[in-house]
Chain A
Amino acid sequence: MTIEKILTENMDLYYGAKQALKSISIKIPENKVTAFIGPSGCGKSTFLRSLNRMNDLIDGVKIEGKILIDGINIYDNNIDVVTLRKKVGMVFQKSNPFAKSIFENVAYGPRINGLKDKKQLDEIVETALKNAAIWDEVKDRLGDSALGLSGGQQQRLCIARTLAVNPEIVLMDEPASALDPLSTSKIEELIVQLKEKYTIVIVTHNMQQAARISDNTAFFYLGELIEYDKTKKIFTNPDKKQTEDYITGRFG
């Protein structure tokens, strides 16, 4: 039995009066890739964003129930959101590098943590870029603007930027949905490598992608967690009819 990194119990989420997530209970294991699938609007991204409290930025969001990371309820009053987000990093759907140099993008996180030593920064940036499999492509132009990179490179840079903060969990919200097939396959390879060091949770619209890279898959529908199991089981022999209908393309 693997250790659970994230555990939620009867977690409900409301946007104002509308309930967007209904009684979600899930155990996400450490150093595995867990994929969330489901049709648009099913709540999978909302759930992902609850795991590093990015939903706090939206007015009128209310969360009930428990979300534990390493056994600590991250919605407790004494939790420092800033520290939480350093531990639980996030990669967004649309690559969003800052209008700064490649180096400064990756150094952003360490710098806001107060790291000033140039040598240490150099090391962190190099390691992060290597871990995000983009070092060879950018090592000669670290001073160039990040906005000059291709879409796929920008997304890997954003992954490097997240890794530079040294998180334990990396949340990915459809990280390859805006990319071409070649860039997508690079990101997928990268995700599989990253699970050695990090716990990865990925939201994807692409079921083949979930099948290729994830260890466990959760199927969300209309704000509910319908089924959660080993990826192989979900894609070959799901328990629920709704899951089967979705993965065979009968709806969604």
Chain B
Amino acid sequence: MIKSFKKNIKGILIEGLTLSSALVIIAIIVVMITVIVIGGKEQISWEFLTSFPEDGMTKGGIFPAIYGTALLVIIMSVAAVPFGTITAIYLTEYANENAIIAKVIRFAVRTLAVIPSIIYGLFGLGFFIKFVGTEMDNAFLGGQLKWGQPNILWASLTMALLTLPVVIVSVEEALKTVPKDLRAASLALGATKWQTIWKVVLPGSVSGIMTGTILAVSRGAGEVAPILFTGVAYYVATLPSSLSDQFMVLGYHIYVMTTQSANVDKTLPIQFGTTLVLLALTFILNISAIIMRYRIRQKKSN
């Protein structure tokens, strides 16, 4: 049973090939992060983070973009987290696994997750702005234009739709980790199904709901396409103070500086700085979500 030399070589080659493609991926990430960190670290300062852009974005800071991103993800979460949680409760607690309605909902959730983000943007434009917004203006403001144009509310709701599948899946997973024994104990004490969900199942799923929220926020903070038509602005001189205001966002700010600026070279350090801030933000959010998810899985395996 001596291995043939030919076979041996073939084995080594295949292993080498698979390993090197894996290494390429690591290399790409390392290069990407290194370039961004080296290019951006000089730029990061308290002033950069807290001041407005100046001189056609060639100087000054990115505060409105940070503020806009934060506001976007907060409004988005306020919409997506309760809605997603309620849907997840229906799927895990009420729907029969094999019922057609549950299958249709699951199919819809999966479909939502694979729709290209630009389509969400178009949907937001057509549905929220042209339909809901315009109808609101007609109904309450006598046709005066207020809600029938891009703003932070429509952008956040569009983003909420995009992140809904993330929330639903995370919360579902968390609800399933609450042991059947505990539900049985509660029901046997004469609790109704809703009391059991509210007092036993949901408190046991808080970390899962948090994980879903963080993942949704990290996705929402990085996406640009859904808000392109629905509310993000090239530049606004004031911070958004009402839901009908437009706003700036980190991801779009980078795009604007690289393609729309009169002097792209001069904005380069700020581009690097902005990219570093966005990258750090999504990294921190994702890592905290991974840690929480890991803890939930450990709890489940116990």
A8, chain B: closest CB distance, angstroms: 20
Residue A94 lies at the interface, judged by CB distance under 8 Å to chain B: yes
Residues of B within 8 A of A161 (CB): 185, 189
Chain A residues 47-77 with CB under 8 Å of chain B are 52, 54, 57, 59
Tell whether, in the assembled complex, residue B188 and residue A90 are in contact, meaning their CB atoms are under 8 Å apart: yes
A112 → chain B, closest Cβ, in Å?
Answer: 5
Interface centre among A86, A94, A98 (most CB of B within 10 A): A98
Interface residues, chain B, CB within 8 Å of chain A? 96, 179, 181-182, 184-192, 195, 199-200, 203-204
Closest 5 CB pairs of A and B: A86-B190, A96-B181, A90-B188, A109-B189, A85-B190
A85–B96 alpha-carbon span in the complex (Å): 23
Q: Is the CB of B190 within 8 A of A108?
A: no
> What are the residues of chain B within 8 A of A54 when measuring CB–CB?
184, 187-188
CB–CB A57/B204 < 8 A: no
Contact partner, B191, options A57, A92, A112, A162, Cβ 8 Å: A112
A59 closest partner in B (C-beta)? B96
Contact of B188 among A52, A59, A97, A99 (CB under 8 A): A52
Q: How far is the CA of A162 from the CA of B186 in the complex (A)?
A: 10
Chain A: residues with CB nearer than 8 A to chain B? Answer: 52, 54, 57, 59, 82-83, 85-86, 89-90, 92, 94, 96-99, 108-109, 112-113, 158, 161-162, 165
Please determine whether B199 and A108 come into contact, CB atoms closer than 8 angstroms: yes
Contact B181 A108 (CB under 8 A): no
B187 x A92 contact (CB < 8 A): no
Complex contact B199–A112 (CB within 8 A):
yes
Given A89-B188, A109-B189, also A99-B203 (CB < 8 A) = yes
Checking A92, A94, A98, A113 against B200 with a beta-carbon cut-off of 8 angstroms, the contacting residue is A98
- B185 in contact with A158 (CB, 8 Å): yes
Distance A90 CA – B184 CA, assembled complex (angstroms): 9
Q: Tell me the minimal C-beta distance from A21 to chain B in angstroms.
A: 20
The verdict on A89 contacting B179 (CB below 8 Å), with A96-B184, A112-B195 known, is no
Q: Contact at B182–A98, with CB atoms within 8 Å?
A: yes
CB distance from A146 to the nearest CB of B (A): 11
- Residues in B with CB closer than 8 Å to A85 are 187-190
Docked pose: A59 CA to B130 CA in angstroms: 47
Contact of B189 among A57, A59, A89, A94 (CB under 8 A): A89
Residues of A within 8 Å of B181, CB to CB, are: 92, 94, 96
17 residue pairs bridging A and B, Cβ less than 8 Å apart: A52-B188, A82-B190, A82-B191, A86-B189, A86-B190, A92-B181, A94-B181, A98-B182, A99-B203, A99-B204, A108-B186, A109-B191, A112-B189, A112-B190, A112-B192, A112-B199, A162-B188
User: Which single residue of chain A is at the shortest CB-CB distance from B195?
Assistant: A112
Provide the bound-state CA to CA distance between A161 and B181, in Å.
14
Q: Note all chain B residues with C-beta closer than 8 A to A98.
A: 182, 185-186, 200
Q: Which of A94, A112, A113, A161 has the most CB of B within 10 A?
A: A112
Residue of A nearest to B203 (CB): A99
Interfacial chain A residues near B188, Cβ < 8 Å: 52, 54, 85, 89-90, 92, 162
* Shortest Cβ distance from residue B40 to the other chain A in the assembled complex, whole angstroms: 44
Which residues of chain A have C-beta atoms less than 8 A from B179's C-beta? 96
State the CA gap A182–B192 with chains docked (Å). Answer: 36
Smallest CB–CB gap between A54 and chain B, Å? 6
Docked Cα-Cα span, A158 to B195, in Å, equals 18
Q: For the complex, what is the distance from the CA of A241 to the CA of B21, rounded to whole Å?
A: 72
Give the contacting residue for A83; candidates B182, B184, B190, B204; CB below 8 A.
Answer: B190
Q: Min CB distance, A58 to chain B, in Å?
A: 11
| Given the contacts A59-B96, A99-B203, A108 and B189 also touching, CB distance less than 8 Å | yes
Q: Which residue on B lies nearest to A56, using beta carbons?
A: B187
Cα A118 to Cα B181 with chains together (Å): 28
